[in-house]
Amino acid sequence: MKRVDSSPTQVKIESSLYGRDLFWLSWMCVLYPMFQGLCVTLVPLRMAALQFDETTVGLIQALPGVTVILLGPPFAQMSNTRWRGWTLSFVFFLSGLASLLFGFAESVLGFVIPQLLTGIATCAFYGNMLAASFQLIDVRGQSFVQGKITAFQGLGIFAGPIVGGYLLRYGSFWAFAPGLMCALIGAYSAFRLSPGVDRQTHSNFSTYILQSYGQWFEVLIGRPIIQIGMLLVAMTSFFLYVTGGTFYLLYANSIGVSAIMATFLMSGRELLASVVRLSFRFVNLYVGSFKMLIGAVVLGSITLAFMPMAETYWELIFISFALGLAGAYVPPALNILAGASARPEEQAYAILCLGIGHFFVQTLTAPLVGSAIFNFGYTTSYPIIGLFWIVSATITLFLGRWVVGHDID
């Protein structure tokens, strides 16, 4: 694909494939996050309705991280092959199957298998999708591309909870049914992408598997900026998806907020983040991705520390609004950080490292947070957790400047 230089005010691409591939990538960036929005919102609400305790909910929510850590490298390797489009189609097949199984889940075991499938699909989707997006244009134009596709991701996460929450009144199967529609359209969109290119050759399957883990480990230990990025991913994922996601919804349920109204809280947050995210290209010129991420952690932690004081729906709206602002620039900033830190054939592994940071913190902390809330309640747990992450963000700020220096942004 032929690329030309881009400026902060205009991105020009001399390729007929650019517009087509960006179109289909944008579609996928609506559809898969819409499935994720269904899962992030409806799965905790369903488990609350089935009267699972907080510790059990935390353990089930930690399951996708297990598959990401174990199977992430081979799927990341697929981004460097001609089979990238087929891999993305397989992602949507798995998401459709998970949606179907979630629709019929009534027990702890019923949630385990679709959660594991979701983990496989997620690690394969983001590595291959983002690798494709990085190949559309050089690094100087990536703030435009990443701002756009992450805005579409926010729209998907916005739509999923609203549609699923509305359909929940007709039963669990119908609430997750939009995931099947997303799977069908998403698989077609993946099929329409331009074919990938074989960047490496492998003599056999075992070599392919071993090489994928070797390359992932090389990127993990050889890129200080990736290590800092993993810390930032862990912190932002914690306040957005653990304390500000699963247990935020359980808290809303505990003060009498209905399932449909809880989905509005999550959807409104994502809509606000999507709109704000459109300005990322310009804000990034003056602030930089690293400082954006540090600011997100601090604002998100302060917000959640005050969450137990919210006793009405309107007060929860304020908390949701603040979390939307805190998380607005997180996805594009992380994508830029990953894309700029690795060679083209390593970018999927860089993204996988950040993804492992995301899922590792969920796998490790979701059961711990659930147990803390179960034993000490929200009023005690959340302020302590918020203070811990503010201190951690401050340490990471100085650590990042010391380890990476002026190249951090």
**8 A C-beta contact, residue 156 and residue 50:** no
Report the chain's mean pLDDT, rounded to a whole number. Answer: 81
Which residue is listed with tokens 């559809």?
31
Residue 202 maps to a domain: no
**8 A C-beta contact, residue 335 and residue 283:** no
C-alpha–C-alpha distance, residues 387 and 320, integer Å? 19
Task: Please tell me the pTM assigned to this model.
Answer: 0.71
Q: Is the model's pLDDT at 6 over the cut of 50? A: no
C-alpha–C-alpha distance, residues 78 and 81, integer Å? 5
CATH number at residue 47: 1.20.1250.20
295 alpha carbon, distance to own chain's centre: 18
pLDDT tens-digit readout, 42-75:
898 898 889 888 788 888 887 887 787 788 888 7
Average pLDDT of span 281-293: 80
Residue 301 maps to a domain: yes
Look at residues 37, 36, 46 and name the one whose alpha carbon lies nearest to residue 259.
Answer: 46
Residue 98 maps to a domain: yes
pLDDT tens-digit readout, 100-149:
999 999 999 999 999 999 988 988 888 788 777 777 665 556 667 777 78
C-alpha–C-alpha distance, residues 30 and 155, integer Å? 6
Q: Is the model's pLDDT at 333 over the cut of 70? A: yes
Residue 201 maps to a domain: no
Residue 6 maps to a domain: no
* Integer angstrom CA distances of residue 257 from 173, 246, 253, 261, 337: 22, 14, 5, 6, 38
Residue 203 maps to a domain: no
Residue bearing the bigger pLDDT, 112 or 262 = 112
Which tokens hold the place of 406? Answer: 């002026």
**8 A C-beta contact, residue 269 and residue 323:** yes
Range of the domain at 345: 16-196+214-408
Q: How many domains does the chain have?
A: 1
Residue 269 maps to a domain: yes
Residue 241 maps to a domain: yes
